[in-house]
Structure 1
Amino acid sequence: MSENPVPDPAGTPAGREDLPARAMNQEKKFPRGLVIRLFAYLVAGHLFAGFLYLLFELGARGQ
């Protein structure tokens, strides 16, 4: 007769509590590439918005 493991009542996978704290913290962090792209898009977006604002300001003064 084979032994079937008893499911954990909390619903956590077996052995999860054995993972080091570093691995658990890794799940809470964003990937480095994502952070860099997000920062680049924010900077580029603000520069583009500033450029458009400058164009509209200069255009309004030219009339």
Structure 2
Amino acid sequence: MSERADDPERGGGSESWKERGVALRVFVYVFATHLFAGFIWILFYVGEHAKK
């Protein structure tokens, strides 16, 4: 039982590991938000140019 959850070699206690996780999450959220906004923009564009 010598293994600890905050062992630096396993990444459990290192702050840089947590910072990388947060940075990745922020990147994914920003990318997904822009993708969704682009999809909405395309819907408005197609709807505006639809033959009525």
Higher helix share: 2
Instruction: Give the gaps of 5 or more residues in structure 1.
Output: 1-19
The percent identity for this pair of structures is: 5
TM-score of the superposed pair, with normalisation by structure 2: 0.68
Instruction: Give the gaps of 5 or more residues in structure 2.
Output: none
CA distance in structure 2 between the partners assigned to 1:27 and 1:62 by the alignment? 54
Regions of 4+ moved over 4 Å: none
Q: CA deviation at 1:43?
A: 0.6
Of structures 1 and 2, the one with the larger relative CO (CA 8 A, separation 6+) is 2
CA distance in structure 1 between the partners assigned to 2:10 and 2:23 by the alignment? 19
Q: How many residues align?
A: 43
TM-score of the superposed pair, with normalisation by structure 1: 0.57
CA distance in structure 2 between the partners assigned to 1:34 and 1:27 by the alignment? 15
Q: What is the RMSD of the two structures over their aligned residues, measured on CA atoms?
A: 2.1
